[in-house]
Structure 1
Amino acid sequence: MKKRIPALSLLLALLLTVSAAAVGGTGNFVRTRQYSGQFSDLPAASVFYDNVSALYEYGLSVGKGDGTFGLADSVTVNQAVIFAGRIRSLYDHGDPETGADDFRAPGQAAYEPYDRYLRSLGILGDELEGLYGTVATRGTVAHILAGILPEEALPAVNAGVVDLARSAPSFLPDLHDGTAWLEDILTLYRCGVTQGSDGFGTFYPDAPITRGALAAMLTRMVDPGLRISLSWDVAADLSAAGTTYGDLILRETRAVTAPATREEVEMAVAHMLSRNESTLYLKYGSLTSDRAREIMQQALAAAKSCCEQSYNTVNCTFDPNTGAIMLAFSALNCSAEETAAYREYTLDAAIAVHDQLWADGTITAAMTDYEKAAVYFDWICRACAYDYDAGSESLSHIAYSLFSRGKAVCDGYTGAYNLLLKLEGIRCRALSNDSHIWTVAELDGTEYHIDTTWGDSLGVFPDYRYFAMSEETSRRFHPW
């Protein structure tokens, strides 16, 4: 007599069998063997000891036929594919070979079932065609490994510091927009699978990878305890600390001892500013009062076009007989000491704003000049209020007031904004008419007019009608 199994019981048994077979996840990453010196070339002092021994214990490698692991040996692309397939199979099935078993066929190369397994999952495509027998570069290995585990199995624990490092001049120095497999390389940094080859994260994407270095990457993928928590001091590298006012003169300059035209006066003033000086000495053969006054006015206009420098007054002395003229610039007719103190405070405050916006990711290296200028436009409009009570000698006429008191008039707004733009290396100048002053900036090769004062006129949020205006639009608002 046949034994009958109730239909419901049979269904439950089938469901349990199917569920058990389908279970995958990081719980399958279990060390099933004990390493006890199987590789003769793996001393306990090796930097790769923990990684290579773990690779053996997870069942991902048995080493070479001669009893060594081959720490310094190069790796071929097909070998990297085999390791990648084993890790994914271990994740999916709890065994490093099961995933490739369904793709084995007579006459295959050793890597092919692993490659087909990874292709069936959409992890690899045909991008490695023609490369399988070649020596693998570090960049190619990063591409092979970056997609073999889902995000929940390999969380981006270093995402913040890596994204910040992309903006820092000294970090990740050999990774740029043209680097092959760039995003895959960055994925390995973000997930703690690599830290590069030095304290700045140099990756050497085109260099061959050794079996020891590959073992380190592979075992960090399966063992969270081996992953790297990056501790790069990126913020210090992003800082504008140490910038001087002279560094903000972003044009070519040269000394002109007897400027004859307005353009030559502007050149002479720019040269003075680039040297962090506040006094301009000129020498003509002879000089009339009218000509001295004209030179003084042209020089003051040139200084005001660089209003981030805070020089908005000038004292002129000259000798009509020798033609010697001295122009001493200051802020609001203040003493040299007071002017220097205002300038120092202002520059330090602007650097602090710059550094904070970079540190918190509000500004990144991936942003265009236009996008960075928009960030600073927003910051200025939100940080300041128009000082309707300002008189002609008020501090509100220089950027110091905006940073120290949150109050300014148009030249204070414009000076602060231009200062922040120039800390980003953005070329800009101040432009004025009889009653107003605003910014003209070159953003990504195009010249725009930007009026932060009027941009702040709504009082609640920035008015972007006054950001990135064409010259035609700007003239409609404030002709000059």
Structure 2
Amino acid sequence: MIKKMNIKILILIILILTLTVSTVFAGELDNFNKLQTYNNNFIDIKDSDWFSNDIKNSYEVGLFKGKSINQFEPNGNILLSEAITLVSRVHDIYNGGDGVIEYEGSSKEWYAAYVDFAIKNGLFKEKDFADYNLKATRAQIAYLFYNTLDKSDFNKVNDITKLPDVNSHTKYYDEIFALYNAGIIAGSDEYGTFKPNTYISRAETSAIINRVIDKNNRKIINLTKSDGEINIKEINGFKVTSFSTIGEHIATEMLKGNRNIDLRQFNINETVDKFGLTDYFGDLLYEVTNQNPMIFGIDSYTYYPDTKTLAVKYSYDRLYQEQLQNSVSKKVKEVIGNIIEADMTYVEKEIAINNYLCETVEYDTYAAEYFLQTGYISTDIVNSFNAYGALNYGKAVCGGYAQAFKILCDEAGITSIIVTGTLDGIGHEWNRVLIEGKWLEVDVTNNDKKDLFNNVLNAPKQIADLIFETNNYYITDELLNSLERGSSEKYEYYNFTNKYVKENDIYNYITKNLKDNSYLTFRTDSSYTIKKLETIMQKVVNNMSRGTSLSFNTYMGVVYIEVIR
């Protein structure tokens, strides 16, 4: 029997998708008929090519021709004009036409009839594409083909909720996932990688055509999860965050308050031989509890190797745990309903969540100081260390801010985790958010300051590493350095909101903007020093009216200036 005490935090393990493909047998779309016979017309197509049948079939129904009489150029790209022509013809035949599109306009472009038809029939909007002679991307093709048929003919044969390179801020996200789940797109590798912004080949386009017009050719994609990537999904009413199948299972059971968790389905002995039993479960449970704050902590665990049972002692009894969960869930849905607008982008949603917490939560100085002095969390301050205190009472220390941010992000579809470590040598918790496949730092606790507002909101690693040092409690040791952190400042708050000022422009920026404002906050280079700012501010004060003084500060490149009259 192995025992480990005093675990208060949790995270989960993700799962990436390994794809195997097989054929779905269903009814055809009857209007697409064979018009001609393919007799090895193209010398650059071999029977052994994965796409040979797709090209044959799309040729025989009269939808796809070669680039010349005997050349198809399967690896060549397809232009937007060609893609629009294809989807227009598919839509017309699907609706009883013959695929011949008449045009009465004055444009001399060969594709004008098809563009006009496609716009009138809702295949795309007039402003979607600026130049029809550009190469079509894979995401654009998914968007166009999704609009060719009635949605009932894209019946769901798969249940894919995650792809390595497609998430809710990917353009045409809904259309891409709809085609994956309809068996029309299967991805470019075993993980289902889509490559939304790469150009699509003629061979790949023929495969999509073949699956759109004939349900017999659509693919069932069997997903096999592999450990190491983050996975957030709803299970039994909870958003469960994990990095592995065992982590997902343990988190799911803990969220239900189960005291005895059956682990017989997992090959624990192999893992334990590698890490040691105590280290393995201690490491895993820190991760699970940190990344799933709705568990609300555990006091201890005991693992029984003979029965492969994990016995858990929770910080609260099940009734109170459930009350906390219900109260937080209700508040979270209320908050997200109030602050998130339908037309917000992924990053705008994330900023709205951060700003909401900055506006509604007060840092609990008493709780922080009491804990630092005693090392003890008493019952009168315990909720300042969790999401319940932050969301329902508006008071929190760093842990409460981080947990509340994580739970709100889960509800809004923002991929985030909780990170543990130190800030200036003192224990601290903050968050990371996944944006365009890279992790950026968010510290709501320190964003909640008037003089340095949002100073760590989507900070890249070169800025965050100036002040933070992570420990190994928020994720398993095996995965500690596996998360790819971003270096771009594109989504850093002040860059994103056009409040980044080059060092040489700071004086002019201040004098211009202080005329109409009592205070000013902006960002410049993270190496900008207080001495440099003092020199600038003396020059600014010298040009202001008598009796006016300025208060100012700078931290990691964020500059705050306030007028005192």
Could you say which TM-score interval applies, normalised by the shorter chain?
0.3 to 0.5
Q: Which has the higher helix share?
A: 1
Using CA pairs under 8 Å that are at least 6 residues apart, name the structure with larger relative contact order, 1 or 2: 2
Q: Structure 1-normalised TM-score?
A: 0.48
Q: Structure 2-normalised TM-score?
A: 0.41
Q: Which has the higher strand share?
A: 2
